[in-house]
Structure 1
Amino acid sequence: MIDSRRLRTLRAVADHGTVTAAAAALYLTPSAVSQQLAALEQEVGHQVLVREGRGVRLTAAGEILLRHSHAVLAQLEQAQAELAAYASGAAGEVTVASFATGIAAIVAPAMRELGVSAPGIRLEVRDAEGDASLMLVLDGRADLAVAVEYRGAPGEDDQRLSRFPLYAEPFDAVLPRGHRLAEQAAVAVADLADEPWIGPYPGNPCHDVVMLACETAGFQPRLAHSSDDFRAVAALAGAGAGVALVPRSALRGVELPDVVMLPLVGTPATRRVFAAVRRGAQEHPLLRPVLDALRCAAADAHLV
């Protein structure tokens, strides 16, 4: 009999690439993770990992087992969801991991709505930028992620997660108020090819959106300054340090006396936001109301 906890450990190692990183994600010691994997190898009669540099690589047997682990763990999540529904467990805590703008735009409004429609559900919110929210869900440290589409993001067919689209938000150009294009009604990304740029760090999904928009316009941006804080980006642009592309909601309600924000013409830059839970858990009586509240908050936010 294969222990499902050891399958979860195997998946964490595959996701994180090292025993040490998997141990940190699972709140275990590296020794405990190694023991779990050794026990798993005894259970299946095959070696599942081999050392490769400072990391590890799954063997062919490990890859087979990993594919089955996705189905097994999803089935267990579904069983827990159905048992919770049977027990009418519409009271409890849900941990939501989201990037900062998503918290402000939809998570906080959803929390307010749940306080009325499902007062037994309490949200614990964690600020998690980049792709960190998805890993928190996969590692079991969060129940639900609000994440941004990025290169390499788990796709719709990923066997570990169930995804739910929330909204697609356009980016606007941020220019110093005295910029040569500041008086236009809109601007093309290609018109900014020769400018110094201010943008998020690699690893932030918005970095991918900016880079793709510039690549589509036929150039690689010259990143002169980097920040994941869009208010800092706007301040730098206002100081004449460069131009930027920023999600429309990121600076909503912020006073911007030194910059102008212009919509883009041509191929738009878009931030696609989705919610994700571990596959099989989507019908859990605690998660379903939260997902519904997030979708309603996204529709009410008018982010397009």
Structure 2
Amino acid sequence: MIDTRRLRTLRAVADHGTVTAAAAALHLTPSAVSQQLVALEHEVGHKLFVRDGRGVRLTAVGKIMLGHANEVLAQLERAEAEVAAYSTGTAGEVTVACFATAISAVLSPAIISLRATAPGLQVRVRDAEGDQSLTMLLDGEADAAIAVEYRGGPDAADRRLSRLPLYAEPFDLVLPEGHALAAAPLSAFGEETWIGPYPGNPVHDVIAFACERAGFTPRFAHCSDDFRAVAALVGAGAGVALVPRLALRDMALSGVTVRQTPGPERRVFAAVRRGAESHPLLRPLLDTLHEIAGSLGIG
């Protein structure tokens, strides 16, 4: 019989690409992870990974086993949810990995609302960029994630996750006050100095893609993942920026002009591990997030 703990190890190594990274995510030693994989290969009777540079990649049988591992682990999540529901589990703690803007816009209001509607539910928040939160969720470091769609990330068909769309957030063009191109289309900003998040941040990808569609590659001279810092640099005349609209809400702006521009947006969704969406502690959280997101009025 295949040990489900070894299936979790298989998925972690497939997700992270190296035994060392998977061990860190699972809070195990690399030796323990290697032993789990060897034991699973003995159980299956086939090699599941082969070396690929400094990492490893799945064999054909490994890919088959990963597909089944995702199904089995999702079913275990469903079993836990049903047992919790049977036990009328209305009290407990959930950990949510979420990026800063969404913490302010939807997660914090949800926590306030849940105090009245689900007083036994305690929400623990982990600040994580939109691409990091899904990794934390899949690694078991979080019970739910609020994330953004990004190139190269898990898509809507990923069978490890159950997703709930929350909102699509437009980006606004932020310019130094009195900028000569204040009324110009985005395509006119190809020669400008740009300010934005570091590469790897999903927002960086959205900005780069929007500029590419406008006919140019943005020249990022200054990088910060803090949108307040980005706005301050624009106000100092250091360049121009595209900033998610909610990040600008309630920000004390100085020396800048903010202009709506058509096209770029980031799509934000909540996610749990597939099978856990009906858990009595997660369901009220997801429902409340969806309700609050629907009232944001950011179009």
Aligned residue number for residue 101 of structure 2: 101
Equivalent residues in 2 for 1:173-188 (5 A)?
173-182=173-182, 184=183, 187-188=184-185
- Report the alpha carbon displacement of residue 191 of structure 1 after superposing the two structures with TM: 2.1
Aligned residue number for residue 241 of structure 1: 238
Match 1:271 to one of 258, 266, 275: 266
Equivalent residues in 2 for 1:1-304 (5 A)?
1-182=1-182, 184=183, 187-265=184-262, 268-304=263-299
Q: Partner letter of residue 150 of structure 1?
A: Y
- Report the alpha carbon displacement of residue 222 of structure 1 after superposing the two structures with TM: 1.1
- Report the alpha carbon displacement of residue 56 of structure 1 after superposing the two structures with TM: 0.8
Between the aligned partners of 1:140 and 1:174, the Cα distance in structure 2 is 38
Of residues 119-128 and 218-227 in structure 1, the stretch that sits farther from structure 2 once superposed is 218-227
Query: Secondary structure of the residue that 2:50 maps to in structure 1?
Result: strand
Between the aligned partners of 2:282 and 2:229, the Cα distance in structure 1 is 35
Query: Secondary structure of the residue that 1:263 maps to in structure 2?
Result: strand
CA contact (8 A) 1:167 1:273 kept: yes
- Report the alpha carbon displacement of residue 223 of structure 1 after superposing the two structures with TM: 1.1
Q: Partner letter of residue 216 of structure 1?
A: R
For structure 1, the residue ranges without an aligned partner over 5 or more in a row are none
Equivalenced residues, count: 299
Q: Partner letter of residue 236 of structure 1?
A: L
Between the aligned partners of 2:221 and 2:85, the Cα distance in structure 1 is 53
CA contact (8 A) 1:99 1:146 kept: yes
Deviations 1:20-64 (A, max 9, x none): 100110111111111111111111111111222211111111111
CA contact (8 A) 2:130 2:146 kept: no
- Report the alpha carbon displacement of residue 279 of structure 1 after superposing the two structures with TM: 0.5
- Report the alpha carbon displacement of residue 206 of structure 1 after superposing the two structures with TM: 0.5
Deviations 1:221-260 (A, max 9, x none): 1111111111111111111111000000102111112111
Between the aligned partners of 1:106 and 1:302, the Cα distance in structure 2 is 12
- Report the alpha carbon displacement of residue 264 of structure 1 after superposing the two structures with TM: 0.6
Between the aligned partners of 1:230 and 1:120, the Cα distance in structure 2 is 34
CA contact (8 A) 2:232 2:254 kept: no
CA contact (8 A) 2:41 2:47 kept: yes
Between the aligned partners of 1:278 and 1:126, the Cα distance in structure 2 is 17
Q: Partner letter of residue 92 of structure 1?
A: G
Between the aligned partners of 2:68 and 2:224, the Cα distance in structure 1 is 40
Q: Partner letter of residue 228 of structure 2?
A: R
- Report the alpha carbon displacement of residue 135 of structure 1 after superposing the two structures with TM: 0.5
Between the aligned partners of 1:153 and 1:57, the Cα distance in structure 2 is 18
Runs of 4+ in 1 over 6 A off after TM superposition: none
Q: Partner letter of residue 70 of structure 1?
A: N
Q: Partner letter of residue 252 of structure 2?
A: E
Between the aligned partners of 1:202 and 1:39, the Cα distance in structure 2 is 39
- Report the alpha carbon displacement of residue 188 of structure 1 after superposing the two structures with TM: 2.2
Between the aligned partners of 2:161 and 2:63, the Cα distance in structure 1 is 18
Deviations 1:159-211 (A, max 9, x none): 100111000010000000121133x4xx5211212211111111111111101
CA contact (8 A) 1:106 1:298 kept: yes
TM-score by length of 1: 0.96
Between the aligned partners of 1:13 and 1:23, the Cα distance in structure 2 is 8
CA contact (8 A) 1:130 1:203 kept: no
RMSD: 1.0
Report the identity percentage: 67
